[in-house]
Structure 1
Amino acid sequence: MDSVLITGANRSIGLETAKQLSQKGLFVYLGSRDLQKGEEVVNKLTQEGFNNIKAIQIDVTNADSVLRAKEIIEKEQGKLDILINNAGVLGDVPQDSSTTSVERIQQTFDTNFFGVIRVTQTFLELLKKSKNPRISNITSGLGSLTLHSDPSWKYYSVKAVSYVSSKTALNAFTVTLAHELKDLNVKVNSIDPGYTATDFNHHSGPGSVESAASFIIKHTLTDENGPTGKFFSNDIEEESEESPW
């Protein structure tokens, strides 16, 4: 049974992704910064018939927490097949470029950018032991500089410096990591689940968590010929679903 770690998975899109992957027969490590909250979610899922999901404590901003999670999965599985870097924060709002403090921007980057790097680098050893390792970095359409430069884009006016910059940086990490691992079978992609109704945005998004999770899984469970170093978005209407950087 292949295993997957999803960070920030005790609610919203992460939780729904865990449920759908479990139904597909994967063993899911449901990452939660607060282990008690994660275990409460898993206990409820067990009552609903999910038997292959386990809560694991992981705070992506804390190196010791990430290492402990890696040691647990290594002991139980010996490898990791899929890493979904889902944990993310919006940051305080408003986020004007001229007034938002460096400290506030750093706080957002700690989770959305540095946290992803920390988790990925820690788990890469286990991922390389998998036959078909996959790394999916959950990003946002707001991370696209091309779209942010297009006044006709429907989200053109959303210029939140902390969040936007952190997701653009995350996309850059995807590109560089995918290039570094291109001669291996590791597929690394940025995946934007689209503007989804979640606690994250006070349920203002038009998309459902079911659709968002399905989109993430579609671009994660790819075959050996699948793409790497790409940016896919659930808000892109083209058949390729590929977003400009």
Structure 2
Amino acid sequence: MKKFYSLSTDSFIPISHDNKHLFNTYELVNNFVRTRFSGAYKNILAKPILQNYTVDWYSPYNNLQETIDVQTQRKYFAFKDELQNHINSLSQSADPNDRNWAGLLAKVFHQQDNKLFSNGNDLCIVWGWAFKNDQIKRPNIIEEEAEITPTAEILPTDPTPIPQEPITPIAEEPTPMDEPLPEEEEIIEEEPLPIEPEPITIPTPKKSFLGFLKEFAAIYGWLLVLLLVLICLTFFYKSLIY
């Protein structure tokens, strides 16, 4: 184990759980991580050693430096996501000891009370004191696109000249003389004969008796008037005599 960091106990307040300082639970928490997580995280927890008023931190990794770069934070939150699954499972257990473990792990790996150290490949966490670290944030950065190597410029090549063969003119075939078209025979149209209209006979209507009287009155009306006058004179004369 190699020392990579030291802090003064006067600078930060130690965090406690179940009436015990967290840094005194290193062996318990470290064994939990080694047995429940993959090999990539087995040395993620830095080991604290208290000497007087100074805490020295140790790790098997070399060249560790405090950092908040994107790659380190991605590893940290990948570990935190897996850890949270264990905390949720323990907190829902009916066993009080399991629920106590859930509270202990939540405090040890509290985001604002952690410091991240890395050598570019390995991650190590300093913990157990109230660092009030607001620099650790879940990265939401789109992966950088892979660099595209420039392709070699393709120079245009001169086209190979194609030998041209002389074009022999094609002799035009003589066109045949236009033959005269036969004259069309003149068609003489015959004039149509005039059609004489047939005489239309209008039938004379038969005279009725009333018509006869009207015709008679029109012709002999004066005679009727004369007879009427004579009759009147006759009656007048007879009236004078008697």
TM-score by length of 2: 0.23
Larger proportion of helix: 1
The structure whose Rg is larger is 2
TM-score by length of 1: 0.23
